[in-house]
Every structure is written in structure tokens, then in C-alpha cells.
Amino acid sequence: MALDNKIIAKIRSVSLLACLLMLAGCGLKSPLPTANLHPSETKDINDYSYLIGPYDTINVFVWGNPEIGGSFTVRPDGQITTSLVEDIPVSGQTPSQVARQIEEKLSTYIRDPIVTVSVTGFKGPFSEQVRIIGEADEPQAIPYAENMTLLDVMIQVGGLTEFADGNRATLARIVDGQYKEYGVRIESLLNDGDIYANVDILPGDIIIIPEAWF
């Protein structure tokens, strides 16, 4: 009888340990893979052209056939649908490239179509947007503009918060496929007027502004 009690006690101990291990396992979460930082699609910054992105609003005008065109919002998958052609990929292309593509597709229905494309709502592809995070007054992602500088970016986000350590800010950039970080002195630029702290911003840059240590 005593032996049976010992066996029962061991079984209970093993069962309890198994339950604890199961509960511990339930609390563990597998880490997600790190997000890939996609390099900018701009090939030559000295010859910059705006690239269309998801959620942009574009106007398509077909000469002689205005009823075919119209205003279209680029879908999250980077495509638009017109009255004659469905699923036209436009993200990552310039307006003129999109116009030529639409002309090619419309040539099935119209003889020698002439198309113009203009953009009225600007967001651009995610790979082109400039992101400002941390202790900016209005952290956000903004469309890149030709010859944009750090000062231009900080004006758009409303400057620094009172808790920011602007001179410890970091600018993250993909260079030749490699992720690199650079120190930037935003506080000196904004508060001291140090124009030498102003730097050029490139498509896809990420600016990280830390909180000050008090």
C-alpha cells in the first residue's frame, strides 16, 4: 500500500511538472522576422522624378475620349482600374511612364490614344517616403521632395518636443544595399541656427529622435 502511494505521488509530480511546462510553453511567443527595409526606387537623385505610390490620387485624361479617363485612387496593391482597363500597375512609376502604359493598353480599343497623367494627392511609395519618429512634435511619414533637407523635414513635423535630445538624433539610410546610421544635430540646427548642421535628405531616409536623459 505504501509502495502504491509512492508511485501515485510520483505520477502526480510528473503530471504537475508536465502541466507547468505546458503552461510555460503557452506563454512563449515566437519572434517575428525582422522587417525588410526596401531601398529607394530612385536611381539618380540628381535627376529626381516623383514616383506614384499607393493611396495617391491620379488624374487620367485621354485626348478625344474624356469619358474614358477620370480621377483614380491608387489601391493598396499599387494598381488602378479604369473604365476600359482593369488592374493597371502604377506604383513606383512616374506619371509619364503610367501614361505610356495606359496608351499601350488602350490601343486595343482606340486608335493612337494620347494620354496624360497628373498627380493631385501625393504620398508616394513607402520606399520613397521620409519617416520621422520619436520626439518630433508631429512624428509622421512625408513624401520626399526634390532637394529636401533636414530643415525642411523638421519644419513639416513641427520641430522637436520639449523632451527631445535633438543632437543625439540618428538618420538611417540604405546605401548600396547596406543599412547605415548617421548622427545629426537637429537641436543645433533649430535652436542655435547652426546651418552647418543642415544635411541633404534622400528618399527612404528614417530620422530617429531620442528622448533626453534628465
Domains by residue range for the chain, with CATH = 48-121 (3.30.1950.10), 130-209 (3.10.560.10)
Q: What's the pLDDT at 71?
A: 95
What distances in angstroms separate CA 67 from CA 12, 37, 64, 75, 190, one per listed residue? 79, 40, 9, 21, 50
Q: CB atoms < 10 A from the CB of 79, how many?
A: 15
Q: Which helix (H) or strand (E) holds 14?
A: helix 2-27
Q: How confident is the model at residue 22 (pLDDT cuts 50, 70, 90)?
A: low
- Which amino acid would we find at residue 178? Q
Q: What's the pLDDT at 92?
A: 94
Q: Is the pLDDT of residue 143 over 70?
A: yes
Q: What's the pLDDT at 43?
A: 81
* Mean pLDDT to the nearest integer, 71-97: 94
Q: What does the longest C-alpha to C-alpha distance in the chain come to?
A: 101
